[in-house]
Amino acid sequence: MQLMKAAEMKNAFVSLFNIYAHELSKYNSWIGTQINHDGNYLAEHVEQYFTDSTIEAFCITEDDRPIGFVVFSNSETNQKVCSIEEIFLIETSRRNGFAEKICKDFWEQNQGICVLHVLKANLPALSYWDKLIQKCGYEYKKKSDNEQMLRYEIML
């Protein structure tokens, strides 16, 4: 497994993001309505991953083929706040430890608080994050951001 800069694999990144958004639309119907005339979900949102200097976007590859993506960010104003904005693996590449390794590596490279946002209706993701964070030994808080989103604050 390897991380490649998303800018070097932009078409693959956008394609994977479309799969991700489609999967998330079962937990939040609004996402399913955010498709442009080219068939891309949340196109303006995705474009910021290539233009915002506080964001690092990567394609996750295995044997030189894209199998997912991850997006990290760091606060412009506070060096002690980081975030895993998005992480996604195609179905056939899940449950093999890739996401766990990526998250652990990111957490080990940062200090302070790492923020994650998860749709409340996405029960598999909530269960995954609770188990992974506990397995890694970090303390964390879950807060309701709004009626749809939970905010994880992981103390690194």
- CA 133 distance to own-chain centroid: 15
Residues 6+ apart with CB under 8 A from 135: 100
- 77 — pLDDT class (breaks 50, 70, 90): confident
Q: Which domains, and CATH codes, for the chain?
A: 2-155 (3.40.630.30)
H runs (alpha helix) in 3-155: 10-24, 29-32, 43-51, 98-108, 123-136
pLDDT > 80? residue 79: no
Q: Taking Cα atoms as reference points, which of 54, 118, 133, 38 lies closest to residue 86?
A: 118
pLDDT digits (tens, 9 = 90+) for 89-133: 999 999 999 999 999 999 999 989 999 999 999 999 999 999 999
pLDDT > 70? residue 76: no
